[in-house]
Each structure stands twice: as structure tokens, then as C-alpha cells.
A and B are shown apart, each in its own frame.
Chain A
Amino acid sequence: DAKTTQPTSMDCAEGRAANLPCNHSTISGNEYVYWYRQIHSQGPQYIIHGLKNNETNEMASLIITEDRKSSTLILPHATLRDTAVYYCIVRVGGSNYKLTFGKGTLLTVNP
């Protein structure tokens, strides 16, 4: 699986949009971009994934650049409960392919 680069930490004000970047310059054509998050003392939670088109669900939006070398996870109205470590993972799609986690980005939402 391609490696990813994420900032170690970010801050965001409550109610504002949180934009979390991820670089994946060596991504292959059949690899998807996945985002998970891990709230303190909990297991990771799936957020969203995409291949090349932008994706949106009830939790977040995923913007993937046209060359697919980077992406941004957007939490449109961050709350205190969104404080967590966010992991960007690139992998071949389907459940039979393992998740390889990096260190992720610690997002702290401040009141």
C-alpha cells in the first residue's frame, strides 16, 4: 500500500470547518483513499473513502486532487466531540485488504 504523510497535529475552533490534509504521491491507480478516526480510549472508526471523485456523507467530505496525489478531509462544522486522531490510509478496495495505519493527525477542537 502507498504511504501517506499527514501533519502531526492541528487545531480548529468549534463550529468552524476542519480541513485535514493528506499527501499520497505514490498512490496507485487501483488504490482508494480511506479516512478513519480514533477518539481517545476508543477503537478507530470508519469515516469515508474515495477513489477519484469527491465524496460526502453525514460525517464528512473528502476532496481528492485531480492527480490523486493528495486529499483533504473536511468536517464542515467541527464540535468538541470531533477531537480525535485522524488517519489517512490508501489501499486497494474491499474488506480483504488490510489497513495499514500511520501516526495520523491529532485534531483538537477548541471551544
Chain B
Amino acid sequence: AQSVTQLDSHVSVSEGTPVLLRCNYSSSYSPSLFWYVQHPNKGLQLLLKYTSAATLVKGINGFEAEFKKSETSFHLTKPSAHMSDAAEYFCVVSAEGGGSNYKLTFGKGTLLTVNP
């Protein structure tokens, strides 16, 4: 079985400051991990994915995440927040390390607020 814990339900930053959204995972197998973003009244958009290649993964809009097996973490970062980054972010693990073609298990989400 697999699970995801997002350590913060709400993160608030000022525009231009760094963003850190924390995620720990649990998986019986080598996991595939993802970060998705959900803007209000819009569908989920994939930011980035880790599938056992490079441990530092670069995504869209300047986001990146680092897979740390020893810490079972997959934290999402961005050097400088933009107002348009305000949204709900979900850390996701796939079943059995099978990529996103398999069942996805979502965390409860982290709401990112960006203050001017």
C-alpha cells in the first residue's frame, strides 16, 4: 500500500520569496511521485514527476522537487513566488511504482497563498 502526507495544509509567502511545500510518502515499492496543481474552478495540472531517474526533478513554471529515499520525502520548491502560483498543490504517489497509468494516491493538499 502507498500513502502521502502533506505536512502543511496552508503555506503563505510573499511575492518574490521562496516556496517550500513538504511531502512525505510511504510505498512498498519504488514509487513514482508527482506534484499536481489545482487552480480554482480548474482541473488538475501536472507540475512534475519522478520515476526513478534523476532525483532532482524540474517541472513547469520554475518548480522543482527532490526525491530523498532516506527521508521518504519529495518536497516541492520554487526560488521566487509569483502571484499566479496561488493555488492548491497535491503530492501524489502511484500504486506499485507503475507510473501514472496506475491508481494515484493523493495527499490532502497544501493551499499556497501569495501575498503582494
- Check if A and B associate: no
Q: Which residues of B contact A (CB under 8 A)?
A: none
